[in-house]
């Protein structure tokens, strides 16, 4: 049996209080109970098989089919114990969500019975029909068929009675059709180049460097019954109309505030589900806006952290439904209220457990830290465009640049102390805490920087927070595979240049000093420790020559610049065809998103808002008429005034909805030039939508509450 599913439904059965308290008291027991993890593998696999598999996982070796067969049987038996009847190659197509195609383990026998079977071949490779997933032109160039390949570095797990095997998804020609393949390629190249640097510092024991990621996930919770009355939320995941309620986030009483019982119980349930899947959900708290919350996991290797984040988003939505709520992951569900992001904490760790972005305790360690730091500074400066592209979407455009999320201009926050140290290095002057003499790399011990837990640098898109960088511009609904692929690649590229230069040097320390100094001098324009929301920064950034790419449409073409295509080719992350395919898909999704939103606005205006306002206008007219009949001298000032105002707005909204409709009918076809199409939506459709909204919102503010055809912002934000 085969079936395509999007999100499988979770069980609707609610646990009793007793069960809940039982589950809660057994966290170590439930943690990872649905994961075929290292402990289970060690337990279930013959010793030599386990060792081969470990080698594959740790050193990226190929897996022998005979080994795969043994693993497959152990995996199947374990999964059946956990209630699984099916297996799926779980993958991450370019839609940004995950896909699964369920196959059952059953295999018919000649006597009419069935047995449960699963082979190494089925574990290693699957063949879903690639034609139903976006390929951005790759399909035209290459064969439609694709295959999924087991990624043994991310553990298999059981979810909703299905054994899920994390896989990469490629076309038969080898072109990546998913988000995992390039990520794995980028992790590999980062490993290679970082190892070269570590060798230069005399470290011969480290075998592997891995990118680590901890994505903090923001989300909104709204009541399901209230949600169901809003067509815009149902179709678009965000509201397209609505005025702000009298009370919003201005009192700052929601942030870190006491968590409501209903939300608390949701979070407990969510944690249980995540823990069972081995997802290290650690902290949970309310966010700035009413109804907004955040979940932060403990970081993991980039590959696993991203798989986990994809599962987390799915489970967040499913668990919310069980609590009669809806989890909104859109970047901007409500205009005028803080949007949601995903703070992508990123660093590099060695197989010996050393965090390469931890300033060291000795001059030697510090020199190494400063070299990695310089590589990152140079990378962000040279590839501002790719960083911006990696987070571009119609939804995220609402956040970036609005004064609540990092601006669309890329910059790095280092904090005053580290900044000062870099200045001393560059100028060859002394640093305050170190006595006389200039700041020399490899000679001085750096102070340990306090981990930044304050809000003071919330406005920076890319902030150093003590021992990692936090890329704050990522959207809440997106896969962070793209941003991390870019980060790994651009840092690897700089490390490669550094290694090329330093390996040739006669005097390593001297060459290192010179290299770091030069890098700071040439790329310090990207460092900005001030207020990223201010208008002054926009001006200053322009003077510094930094890019400001406010929208997806402005950002996307930069990905095709020669320097970027060359970068990807140099590290075998994407071929030019793969870059172009992703470029096309991203623009296509942008156009389609705006089109759906605009159509929804047309429908809601014509079928809900205008009829409702008109009803009120008739009421006012009747009231006026009635008063005049009672006494011709009665003034009816209120009725007359409102009637005039609302009639005027009705006419304006009516004209504008027709205009929007006309613009939509004239929009270029999705099959035409993708950039031209997206530009049309950005330049023509979005402004028309904004204008229509302004008329409708003004009508909302002046229409009787009981006649308004759908729940208001107040109803939504305070619904839970």
Binding site for ligand ADP (CB under 6 A): 212-214, 216, 296-299, 345-347, 355, 451, 453, 465, 467-468
CB of 687 to ligand ADP, least distance (A): 38
Dig out the tokens for 440 from the structure. 């020399």
Residues 639-668 that bind Mg ion (CB under 5 A): none
Closer residue to ligand ADP (CB): 254 or 343 = 343
Q: What is the 3-state secondary structure (H, E, C) of 601-639?
A: HHHHHHHHHHHHHHHHHHHHHHHHHHHHHHCCCCCCHHH
The pairing of beta strand 342-350 with beta strand 469-471: antiparallel
Binding mask 308-347 for Mg ion (x = CB under 5 A): -----------------------------------x----
CA 236, 241, 245, 247 dihedral sign is positive
Helix 302-322 × helix 261-276 angle, to 10°:
140
Closer residue to ligand ADP (CB): 240 or 463 = 463
Q: Which does 693 bind (CB under 5 to 8 A by kind): Mg ion, ligand ADP, none?
A: none
Closer residue to Mg ion (CB): 343 or 580 = 343
Closer residue to ligand ADP (CB): 79 or 380 = 380
Residue of minimal CB distance from ligand ADP?
214
Closer residue to ligand ADP (CB): 325 or 486 = 486
Closest CA to 299 of 340, 346, 342: 346
Measured CA to CA in angstroms, residue 658 lies from 294, 422, 608, 664, 686 at distances of 40, 58, 15, 10, 15
Measured CA to CA in angstroms, residue 608 lies from 105, 222, 225, 447, 504 at distances of 50, 21, 18, 62, 72
d(CA 531, CA 458): 9
Q: Which does 307 bind (CB under 5 to 8 A by kind): Mg ion, ligand ADP, none?
A: none
CB of 210 to Mg ion, least distance (A): 21
Residue 337 contacts residue 348 (beta carbons within 8 Å): no
Closer residue to Mg ion (CB): 343 or 398 = 343
Q: Which does 123 bind (CB under 5 to 8 A by kind): ligand ADP, Mg ion, none?
A: none
Q: Which does 488 bind (CB under 5 to 8 A by kind): Mg ion, ligand ADP, none?
A: none
CB of 466 to ligand ADP, least distance (A): 7
The per-residue DSSP string of 510-568 comes to: HHHHHHHHHHHHHHGGGB--S-TTSHHHHHHHHHTT--B--SHHHHGGGGGSHHHHHHH
CB of 356 to ligand ADP, least distance (A): 9
CB of 374 to Mg ion, least distance (A): 24
Closer residue to Mg ion (CB): 468 or 523 = 468
Residue 232 contacts residue 332 (beta carbons within 8 Å): no
Q: Which does 56 bind (CB under 5 to 8 A by kind): Mg ion, ligand ADP, none?
A: none
Closest CA to 611 of 714, 508, 709, 700: 709
3-state secondary structure of 125: strand
CB of 363 to ligand ADP, least distance (A): 22
Closer residue to ligand ADP (CB): 56 or 345 = 345
Closer residue to ligand ADP (CB): 76 or 342 = 342
Q: Which does 298 bind (CB under 5 to 8 A by kind): ligand ADP, Mg ion, none?
A: ligand ADP
Closest CA to 96 of 6, 8, 211: 6
CB of 412 to ligand ADP, least distance (A): 17
Residue 107 contacts residue 115 (beta carbons within 8 Å): yes
Closer residue to Mg ion (CB): 254 or 322 = 254
Closer residue to Mg ion (CB): 119 or 529 = 529
Closer residue to ligand ADP (CB): 134 or 482 = 482
Closer residue to ligand ADP (CB): 84 or 480 = 480
Closer residue to ligand ADP (CB): 193 or 345 = 345
Residue 552 contacts residue 590 (beta carbons within 8 Å): yes
CB of 455 to Mg ion, least distance (A): 10
Please list, residue by residue across 48-66, b when 16 or more beta carbons sit within 10 angstroms of its beta carbon and e when fewer do. Answer: ebbebbbebbeeeeebeee
Q: Which does 425 bind (CB under 5 to 8 A by kind): ligand ADP, Mg ion, none?
A: none
Residue 213 contacts residue 480 (beta carbons within 8 Å): yes
3-state secondary structure of 148: strand
Report DSSP state, residue 685: I
CB of 385 to ligand ADP, least distance (A): 24
CB of 305 to ligand ADP, least distance (A): 8
Dig out the tokens for 411 from the structure. 């910059």
CB of 345 to Mg ion, least distance (A): 7
Residue 549 contacts residue 403 (beta carbons within 8 Å): no
Q: Which does 102 bind (CB under 5 to 8 A by kind): Mg ion, ligand ADP, none?
A: none
Closer residue to Mg ion (CB): 343 or 571 = 343
Q: What angle do CA 385, 389, 395 make, to 5 degrees?
A: 140
Residue 485 contacts residue 499 (beta carbons within 8 Å): no
The enclosing H or E element of 322 equals helix 302-322
Q: Which does 581 bind (CB under 5 to 8 A by kind): Mg ion, ligand ADP, none?
A: none
CB of 211 to ligand ADP, least distance (A): 8
The per-residue DSSP string of 325-365 comes to: EEEE--S-SSTTS---BEEEEEEEEETT--BTTS--SSHHH
CB of 552 to Mg ion, least distance (A): 25
Measured CA to CA in angstroms, residue 705 lies from 225, 515, 702 at distances of 18, 66, 9
Q: Which does 369 bind (CB under 5 to 8 A by kind): Mg ion, ligand ADP, none?
A: none
Q: Which does 355 bind (CB under 5 to 8 A by kind): Mg ion, ligand ADP, none?
A: ligand ADP
**Percentages (nearest 5) of helix, strand, coil residues in the chain:** 50, 15, 35
Residue of minimal CB distance from Mg ion?
343
Q: Which does 299 bind (CB under 5 to 8 A by kind): ligand ADP, Mg ion, none?
A: ligand ADP
Binding mask 233-272 for Mg ion (x = CB under 5 A): ----------------------------------------
CB of 465 to ligand ADP, least distance (A): 6
CB of 204 to ligand ADP, least distance (A): 24
Residue 339 contacts residue 400 (beta carbons within 8 Å): no
Residues 393-432 that bind Mg ion (CB under 5 A): none
Q: Which does 204 bind (CB under 5 to 8 A by kind): Mg ion, ligand ADP, none?
A: none
CB of 200 to Mg ion, least distance (A): 32
Closer residue to ligand ADP (CB): 190 or 594 = 190
Q: Which does 309 bind (CB under 5 to 8 A by kind): Mg ion, ligand ADP, none?
A: none
Q: Which does 542 bind (CB under 5 to 8 A by kind): Mg ion, ligand ADP, none?
A: none
Q: Which does 694 bind (CB under 5 to 8 A by kind): ligand ADP, Mg ion, none?
A: none
Residue 600 contacts residue 587 (beta carbons within 8 Å): no
CA–chain centroid gap for 663, Å, is 31
Closest CA to 587 of 337, 343, 386, 392: 392
Dig out the tokens for 100 from the structure. 């699964």
Number of residues engaging Mg ion in binding (CB under 5 A): 1
Applying CB under 5 A, which residues contact Mg ion? Answer: 343
């Amino acid at each position: 049996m085969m079936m395509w599913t999007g999100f499988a439904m979770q069980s609707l059965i609610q646990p009793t209080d007793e069960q809940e308290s039982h589950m809660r008291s057994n966290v170590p027991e439930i943690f990872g109970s649905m994961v075929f993890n290292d402990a289970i593998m060690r337990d279930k696999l013959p010793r030599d098989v386990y060792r081969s598999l470990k080698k594959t996982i740790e050193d990226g070796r190929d897996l022998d089919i005979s080994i795969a067969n043994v693993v497959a049987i152990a995996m199947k038996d374990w999964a059946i114990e956990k209630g699984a009847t099916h297996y799926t190659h779980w993958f991450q197509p370019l839609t940004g969500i995950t896909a699964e195609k369920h196959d059952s383990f059953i295999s018919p026998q000649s006597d009419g019975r069935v047995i449960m079977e699963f082979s190494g071949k089925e574990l290693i490779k699957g063949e879903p029909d690639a034609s139903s997933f976006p390929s951005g032109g790759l399909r035209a160039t290459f064969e439609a068929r694709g295959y999924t390949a087991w990624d043994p570095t991310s553990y298999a797990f059981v979810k909703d009675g299905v054994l899920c095997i994390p896989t990469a998804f490629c076309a038969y020609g080898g072109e990546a059709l998913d988000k995992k393949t390039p990520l794995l390629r980028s992790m590999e190249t980062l490993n290679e180049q970082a190892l070269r640097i570590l060798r230069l510092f005399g470290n011969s024991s480290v075998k592997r460097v891995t990118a680590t990621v901890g994505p903090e996930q923001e989300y909104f919770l709204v009541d399901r019954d209230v949600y169901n009355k809003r067509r815009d939320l149902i179709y678009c995941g965000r509201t397209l109309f609505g005025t702000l309620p009298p009370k919003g986030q201005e009192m700052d009483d929601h942030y870190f505030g006491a968590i409501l019982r209903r939300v608390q119980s949701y979070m407990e349930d969510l944690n249980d589900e995540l823990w069972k899947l081995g997802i290290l959900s650690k902290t949970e708290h309310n966010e700035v806006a009413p109804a907004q919350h955040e979940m932060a996991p403990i970081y993991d290797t980039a590959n696993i952290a991203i798989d986990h984040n994809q599962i987390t988003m799915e489970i967040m939505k499913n668990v919310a439904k069980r609590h009669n709520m809806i989890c909104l992951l859109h970047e901007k569900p409500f205009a005028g209220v803080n949007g949601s992001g995903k703070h992508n904490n990123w660093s590099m760790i060695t197989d010996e457990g050393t965090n390469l972005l931890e300033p060291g305790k000795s001059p030697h360690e510090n020199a190494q830290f400063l070299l990695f730091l310089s590589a990152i500074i140079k990378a962000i400066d040279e590839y501002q465009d790719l960083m911006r592209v990696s987070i571009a979407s119609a939804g995220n455009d609402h956040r970036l640049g609005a004064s609540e999320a990092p601006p669309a201009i890329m910059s790095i926050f280092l904090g005053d102390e580290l900044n000062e140290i870099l200045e001393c290095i560059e100028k060859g002057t002394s640093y305050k805490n170190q006595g006389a003499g200039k700041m020399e790399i490899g000679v001085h011990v750096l102070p340990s920087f306090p981990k930044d837990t304050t809000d003071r640098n919330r406005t920076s898109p890319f902030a150093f927070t003590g021992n990692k960088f936090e890329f704050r511009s990522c959207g809440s609904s997106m896969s962070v595979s793209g941003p991390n692929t870019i980060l790994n690649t651009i840092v690897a590229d700089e490390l490669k240049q550094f290694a090329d230069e330093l390996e040739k040097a006669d005097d390593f320390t001297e060459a290192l000093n010179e290299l770091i100094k030069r890098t700071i001098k040439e790329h310090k324009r990207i460092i900005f420790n001030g207020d990223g929301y201010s208008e002054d920064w926009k001006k200053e950034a322009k003077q510094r020559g930094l890019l400001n790419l406010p929208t997806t449409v402005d950002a996307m073409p930069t990905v095709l610049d020669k320097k970027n295509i060359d970068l990807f080719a140099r590290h075998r992350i994407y071929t030019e065809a793969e870059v172009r395919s992703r470029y096309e898909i991203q623009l296509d999704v942008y156009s389609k998103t705006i089109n759906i939103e605009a159509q929804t606005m047309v429908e809601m205006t014509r079928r809900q808002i205008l009829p409702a306002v008109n009803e009120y206008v008739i009421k006012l007219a009747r009231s006026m008429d009635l008063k005049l009949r009672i006494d011709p001298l009665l003034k009816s000032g209120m009725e007359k005034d409102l009637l005039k105002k609302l009639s005027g707005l009705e006419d304006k909204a009516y004209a504008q909805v027709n205009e929007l409709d006309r613009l939509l009918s004239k929009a270029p076809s999705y099959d035409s030039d993708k950039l031209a199409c997206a530009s049309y939506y950005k330049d023509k459709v979005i402004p028309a939508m904004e204008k229509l909204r302004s008329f409708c919102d003004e009508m909302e503010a002046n229409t009787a509450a009981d006649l308004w055809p759908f729940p208001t912002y107040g109803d939504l934000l305070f619904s839970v």
